[in-house]
Amino acid sequence: MRILLSNDDGVHSPGLVALYEGLKSLGNLEVVAPDRDHSGASNALTLNRPLTVEEHPSGFRSIDGTPTDCVHLAVNGLFPESFDRVVSGINTHANLGDDIIYSGTVAAATEGRHLGLPAIAVSLVSEGQNHFETAARVVRMLLESERPLSLGPRSILNVNVPDVPWEELAGFRVTRLGNRERAESAVPMTCPRGKERYWIGAAGKGGDAGPGTDFHAVAQGYVSLTPVHIDMTRHEALVSLRTWADSLPDVHGGGV
Amino acid sequence: MRILLSNDDGVHSPGLVALYEGLKSLGNLEVVAPDRDHSGASNALTLNRPLTVEEHPSGFRSIDGTPTDCVHLAVNGLFPESFDRVVSGINTHANLGDDIIYSGTVAAATEGRHLGLPAIAVSLVSEGQNHFETAARVVRMLLESERPLSLGPRSILNVNVPDVPWEELAGFRVTRLGNRERAESAVPMTCPRGKERYWIGAAGKGGDAGPGTDFHAVAQGYVSLTPVHIDMTRHEALVSLRTWADSLPDVHGGGV
Amino acid sequence: MRILLSNDDGVHSPGLVALYEGLKSLGNLEVVAPDRDHSGASNALTLNRPLTVEEHPSGFRSIDGTPTDCVHLAVNGLFPESFDRVVSGINTHANLGDDIIYSGTVAAATEGRHLGLPAIAVSLVSEGQNHFETAARVVRMLLESERPLSLGPRSILNVNVPDVPWEELAGFRVTRLGNRERAESAVPMTCPRGKERYWIGAAGKGGDAGPGTDFHAVAQGYVSLTPVHIDMTRHEALVSLRTWADSLPDVHGGGV
Amino acid sequence: MRILLSNDDGVHSPGLVALYEGLKSLGNLEVVAPDRDHSGASNALTLNRPLTVEEHPSGFRSIDGTPTDCVHLAVNGLFPESFDRVVSGINTHANLGDDIIYSGTVAAATEGRHLGLPAIAVSLVSEGQNHFETAARVVRMLLESERPLSLGPRSILNVNVPDVPWEELAGFRVTRLGNRERAESAVPMTCPRGKERYWIGAAGKGGDAGPGTDFHAVAQGYVSLTPVHIDMTRHEALVSLRTWADSLPDVHGGGV
């Protein structure tokens, strides 16, 4: 098995090293990750400049771009051989609920899927203990499963692991993404040169975090497994939208 | 009606000006857009620095951040009054099919929805004619409709408009997102200082672009209206994933 | 006379527009400036990516790079015709004393000189009145002088103008660069996500700001004219350094 | 002796590691360097956002900013104890002649001097052999000299070392900065998305590279030692500029 590893915390992140250590016995690994922290990068793709690839003494490669750039370039040009799988992480913080729309970790996995590869995003719901080895062992167990995992088209697996020793994991839970209440207000500040600036506010609290959600599973000590897809069409709305569109004035009838 | 306008091409883009001109009679508009081009920014959110807001003589505001930053800050802190709607665009290129996952234009709209507001993303499928006024008129027609549009929770409307005079529009089509074939390979180059670098390759061709898709609608001269949602849970896969997860070894049973 | 205008506040800065308006009767002007604020950019040159040039409806061009990039590209490739002179500004704040080492405004001028052109950097010592027209008129007077100005090799003129109506200027003073006391300490802060970060502290006070310095001239209401060179060799130290180097152990004698 | 090490190639550069290894027996070292390559950064200082400091397992610290930011923050806030000296390097390429105005390596040293500390910038004139240990040994020899080195106010030592084993060094030469002919023209290119872009051209050839210059010394196999100052006033031009300024029309006399 030939596996591509990436992340959004950067090539020197301890979570990435732990993932590499945990998976290296599974086959042939390549690591291609951003040269610096890109948390919050979402699926951003760098189109206005060429990217530079650097190979480190460890054999890891870094790119001066986003997580999506890394996976795109690795799968689509850097290596002559193709990959069987993409694993992104281990992120040093949770990627739960709505927040994953901003996540670079999840984006690296979805880019892999976009390019035709089964992909997993894995995050540690860190409380400062940094049990990356638990998360790495979870990923290895998932990859070693003899039953094939089929999520359907255009989907990846988003995994969040409680920050505890392996023995303290409660088990696995398949979950849906919860969602948070609205984010807190932007935080204004005056910089030392007297200019007013704004920080994006902290993520919202609670919201839909009840049973069945990823928030709930990890709070109970379970590994959360969420099937995540990248088909953004809201198929359920197609019919009602057609009815509505039919009520629009004829573009040739004037009236606007 | 109080409408927030944003985009990903930057505050000085002619598409944004055309949108403003086309909608200004509808109510109270505020414009908050990136200070420079952020095409490809996806939902990237800036968390590692505070943002600066600049007000221009036109009354437009720019932010040294991403499209998502702009909408987030505008809705969540910059103005004392709330908004009724977010419109993002007019993008100077199409946002069709898979590509929207990278789109800053669509991301600005989804950020508005995320914060509770109905939202529209609008793009001109430009062929160099730059009939922004056609796209602006389409948006105005959508906003002026007397029948309420309900897309269901967490959804926005993604609109792509052919680059033709209003009279040449064929009408409206409700569509699903098509998808492209795999992107072209990365393009290696040697920079003038002798370092090898890589451009992200061009988007793929064709793929699923048949009847029913947004690609097909605009190719036929229609305005494409696609309901797009931000619920990334693949609900259809929950059951099969549960069966699969049950087959994993017990975390307490050892063996791994 | 063919003059290249640039700045470090960005192509949309009112100081740049005022400079253009003030000088346009003198000959053929081209404006090439950064697309966003680059204060503090010093002589930074962008070597790791290609630059993009955008032409605005005003005829001004912007580049997604530093002030030095703008002048370099304008003189060295963008235009078939050569220039007679470079003017950088009008900066919206003073560029006095030690601070000019960080200044993008001064760097744009020194890049012009580096490429063989006489160059002027001009800054308004702003107190919020924004009398850019005064500074523009100063530059025009300097450029219209019939006596040739010779600063010697590799030198530019750094001009700082008090923020007053023309009639209130006290006159011109030729000055040396003063210097400030040491900058204030870095300002630590905790961002809304709990991470500690540091702002570069404010510039130091006073220092060498006595008679003869640029600080003193503008404080007295005079336009300050400072000859600034880019020869960084400290010629006065060559002899004593040779004596010192002779005292070093012989590289082949071992001992280290 | 308490020494601050920095560079512009980034915290993971082999040249920085070699410098650390070569100097660690001299006293107490701290390393604070950019988190990524900042070649060409000149004295750029980051004023529009706060900076983040990360401590690595090696004890090295990185900052998400420029070389000047690193030295400024290290000397002016990060550590309770003060430093005795700043050493910047070992740069993986030469910093000779005019080019040093763009150099982040030299800028890190001048920032140290600006804050009151004796400072050395050191570069390897690399030809692919990467004899960093030679350059490190040169710096150690300079720091261990018993005769005090006095360069005069506001000056640093710029050191360029041939890329050879220690035994092959020809000795030391005290030099002035040479200068190059004008840089080559910008290199236009069309990116894969069809947009025209420009690379800054390569540095110019030859120019003033004769005996006495730093270019000449290293070409002959010598370590080049150049005294470099940061006083940008061209004192020699003050008198002639005063004469010229007296010929300007009286600001109150009108006529302009």
Whether D256 maps to a domain, the answer reads no
Q: How far is D4 from chain C (nearest CA, A)?
A: 17
The pLDDT of residue D37: 86
Cα angle for residues B219, B221, B225 (degrees, 5° grid): 85
Other beta carbons less than 10 A from residue B134's beta carbon: 24
Asked whether residue A252 carries a pLDDT value surpassing 80, the answer given is no
How many beta-carbon contacts under 8 Å exist across B and C?
Answer: 17
Whole-number pLDDT of residue A255: 42
C192–A200 C-beta distance less than 8 A: yes
Tell me how far apart the alpha carbons of residues C44 and C102 are, in angstroms, rounded to a whole number.
10
Mean pLDDT of chain A: 91
* Count of beta carbons in the 10 Å neighbourhood of residue B208: 16
Considering only CB atoms, which chain C residues are within 8 Å of A184? 192
Neighbours of C246 (CB within 10 A): 10
Q: Which ranges of chain B does DSSP label H, i.e. alpha helix?
A: 14-23, 67-73, 104-114, 132-144, 214-219, 238-246
**Residue D1: alpha-carbon gap to chain centroid:** 22
Res D256: pLDDT: 39
Q: What are phi and psi of B86, to 5 degrees?
A: -120, 130
Average pLDDT (A55-74) is: 94
Of D185, D226, D238, the CB nearest to C233: D226
Is C130 a known ligand-binding residue?
A: no
Cβ(B169)–Cβ(B223) below 8 Å: yes
C-alpha C87/C-alpha C106 separation (Å) is 10
Residue in chain D closest to B187 (alpha carbons) equals: D192
Per DSSP, what are the bridge partners of residue A57? none
Q: Tell me if C9 is assigned to a ligand binding site.
A: yes
Structural domain includes residue B87: yes
* CA distance linking residue C247 with residue D21, whole number of Å: 25
- Mind listing the pLDDT tens digit for each residue in A100-149? 999 999 999 999 999 999 999 999 998 889 999 999 999 999 999 878 78
C188 within some domain: no
Position A156 scores a pLDDT of 94
Average pLDDT of the residues in C243-254: 78
Note the pLDDT tens digit of each residue in C133-142. 999 999 999 9
Q: How far apart are CA D151 and CA D148, in angstroms?
A: 10
Quote the pLDDT of residue C206: 67
Give residue A240's pLDDT band: very low, low, confident or very high (50, 70, 90): confident
Share of chain B above pLDDT 90, in %: 65
Between strands D155-162 and D171-174, the pairing is: unpaired
* B117 pLDDT higher than 60: yes
Sheet order of strands, B171-174 included: B53-55, B61-63, B28-34, B2-6, B85-91, B119-125, B155-162, B222-229, B171-174
Instruction: Give the residue-averaged pLDDT of C234-240.
Output: 87
C203 → chain A, closest CA residue: A193
Task: Say what the pLDDT of residue A256 is.
Answer: 39
Mean pLDDT estimate for chain B: 91
Report d(CA D221, CA D123) in Å as an integer.
Answer: 14
Which pLDDT does position B206 carry in this prediction?
Answer: 67
Chain C residues bordering chain B (beta-carbon distance below 8 Å): 12, 35-37, 47-48, 50, 56, 64, 191, 193
- What is the full per-residue pLDDT of chain D (256 aa) written as tens digits? 999 999 999 998 999 999 999 999 999 999 999 998 888 888 888 988 899 999 988 999 999 999 999 999 999 989 999 999 999 999 999 999 988 999 999 999 999 999 999 999 999 998 889 999 999 999 999 999 878 788 878 899 999 999 999 999 999 999 999 988 888 888 999 988 888 899 988 888 767 889 999 999 999 999 999 999 988 888 888 888 888 888 888 877 644 3
Q: What is the CATH number of the domain that holds A150?
A: 3.40.1210.10
Cβ contact B199–D192 (<8 Å): yes
Q: β-strands D53-55, D61-63: how paired? A: antiparallel
Q: Residue B248 — pLDDT band, cuts 50, 70, 90?
A: confident
| Bridge partner residues of C210 (DSSP) | none
C152-202 residue pLDDT tens: 788 999 999 999 999 999 999 999 999 888 888 889 999 888 888 999 888
> Does B131 map to a domain?
yes
pLDDT tens-digit series, residues C48-74: 899 999 998 899 999 999 999 999 999
**Range(s) of the domain holding residue D103:** 2-178+206-246
pLDDT digits (tens, 9 = 90+) for B29-61: 999 999 988 888 888 889 888 999 999 889 999
CA nearest B245: which of A95, A92, A159?
A159
Task: Print burial letters for D206-219: b (CB count within 10 Å at least 16), e (below 16).
Answer: ebbbeeebbbbbbe
For B82-104, what is each residue's pLDDT tens digit? 999 999 999 999 999 988 999 99
Give the model's pLDDT for residue B191.
Answer: 87
Whole-number Å distance between alpha carbons of A121 and A156: 8
What whole-number distance in Å separates Cα of residue C252 and Cα of residue B82?
A: 77
Residues of chain D found within 8 Å of residue C225, distances taken between Cβ atoms: 241, 245
Which tops the pLDDT comparison, D62 or C251? D62
ipTM of the complex: 0.85
Distance, first Cα to last Cα, chain D: 60
Model pLDDT for residues D187-199, shown as the tens digit of each residue: 999 988 888 899 9
Minimal C-alpha gap between C147 and chain D (Å): 7
Test mutation, A32, A39, A42, chain B, max B CBs within 10 A: A42
Beta bridge partners of A160: A123, A224
pLDDT for the residue numbered D253: 67
Is there a domain that residue B201 lies in? Answer: no
- Do residues C90 and C16 touch, judged by C-beta distance below 8 A? yes
Q: Which chain C residues are within 8 Å of B64, Cβ to Cβ?
A: 36-37
Distance CA A119, CA A156 (A): 5
D163 labeled part of a ligand binding site: no
Residue B200 lies in a domain: no
B35 bridge partner residues: none
Helix (H, G, I), strand (E, B) or coil at D219: helix
Residue D129 lies in a domain: yes
Residue in chain C lying closest to D171 (CA): C251
Q: Which of B21, B23, B69, B3 is nearest to B42 (CA)?
A: B69
Q: Residue D96: its pLDDT value, please? A: 94
Cis before D156? omega within 30: no
Residue B246: predicted pLDDT: 86
Does the pLDDT value for residue A183 go beyond 90? no
C146 found inside a domain: yes
> Count of domains in chain C?
1
- In angstroms, the CA A220 to CA A213 distance is 11
Sign of torsion over alpha carbons B168, B172, B176, B177: positive
